[in-house]
Amino acid sequence: MRDVIVSGVGMTKFGKFFEKGLKDLTRESVNKALEDAGVSKETIESAYVGNSVAGVITGQETIRGQVVLRDAKIGGIPIFNVENACASSSTAFHLASVGIAAGVYDCALIVGVEKMTHADRNVTFKAFEGGVDVEAMKTQLDQSPGTRSIFMDVYAQKAKDYMNRYSVTKEHLAKIAAKNHNNGRLNPFAQNRKAKSVEDVLNDRLIVDPFTRSMCSPVSDGAAALVLCSKDFAKKTNKPPVYLASSVVTSSELQPLENEGVIKKASKSAFEKAGLGPEDLDVIEVHDATASAELMAYEEIGLCEPGETAKLVDNNMTELHGKKPVNASGGLEAKGHPIGATGLGQIVELVWQLRGEAGSRQVKNSPKVGFAENAGGHLGNENAACTITILTT
């Protein structure tokens, strides 16, 4: 199998853009990625477009990738539409990497794009419901308050169970959220760029116990794009190579083992494929749809032993200039969470960090290994899908 290289990245600002559609967001991110790589649209041999809820929000189904890329003046090539909940675009990245590694293509374009805002917020909340087993959860969905994503209730119950088991407090969640909002303040692509103290987070409006608004990812629009290529093709591009060390996509087990959920399973597999371990990571992006999801990810990806997550928070280990910086971008809580673009947005951030191009949020000591965890949907007691991506210089 051939080496796989990230040669160009681009991203829109994440936010609420009622005046912009999927085409606008895609075009901006694609043009930035191509410019960053220094390649033309004509050199792209295949394209993979990750999107999750355009069918519900905009009504566009079946040919989403062909529609948005045609507007960006890209066509006449294989275009693959990828839908895998919040892991849609990181899954598209994985599929593109397989094509490059296998020698099927030399240069591929990956796009993650999502339009979450709608004049009727009930339409947005309805879109989230597709990420669970709607038949099995019909009663819960019928009783949903209709004022928030169903996932806030799912995450809240998991958080309370975890907090009771390990004596984690609401202050620990607030400290994670404050860290991410302070990081997001430094990120020009972030939706929320206001620094917040732990007290600010705790005093924010309650969404569902134990989460205040600042502990939750907002509704977002946005797009990210990336040019992936072979090692030989990379010699024609502008930037120093960033290598793909491993990419793993997996789904929840029918009967998961105790303490062996989908994120832990995928992480272990990714580390094995890369020949690395948690101790080697220099910069980390995790799927913090809520602050508790980041907290639990510390354990799931191997940064600490079970039940020791609070120690990482208390010792500032995951701060921007801590030993293991997590969500230097601001994470989903501050950067935003346009579902179909989120996973690729994480990978774009890792590329900027590994190149030393992250500006005032750049982690110290010239990072050489980046890690992204992107999970989505919910089945049983865990995420339905998870992707892990490890990049190296």
**Active-site residue 337, yes or no?**
yes
- Tokens at 123, concatenated: 């339409």
Q: Contact, 367 vs 354, CB < 8 A?
A: yes
Catalytic residue among 181, 287, 337, 378: 337
Catalytic residue among 86, 107, 216, 386: 86
Q: Which residues neighbour 392 within 8 Å (Cβ) at sequence distance 6 or greater?
A: 242, 243, 245, 274, 354, 368, 369, 370
- Tokens at 261, concatenated: 């959920």
Q: Contact, 349 vs 358, CB < 8 A?
A: yes
**Active-site residue 118, yes or no?**
no
Nearest Cα to Cα of residue 51 among 30, 81, 72:
81
Q: Which long-range contacts (CB under 8 A, 24 or more apart) does 17-24 make?
A: 17/117, 17/221, 18/117, 18/119, 20/115, 20/221, 21/58, 21/115, 22/51, 22/54, 22/58, 22/60, 22/64, 22/67, 22/68, 22/113, 22/114, 22/115, 22/223, 23/67, 23/68, 23/71, 23/72
Q: Which long-range contacts (CB under 8 A, 24 or more apart) does 130-135 make?
A: 130/53, 130/56, 131/52, 131/85, 131/86, 131/376, 131/377, 131/378, 131/384, 132/377, 132/378, 132/379, 133/379
CA angle 45, 47, 51 (to 5 degrees): 180
For residue 96, give the H/E element and its range.
Answer: helix 88-101
Q: How far apart are CA 163 and CA 169, in angstroms?
A: 6
Residues designated as active site: 86, 337
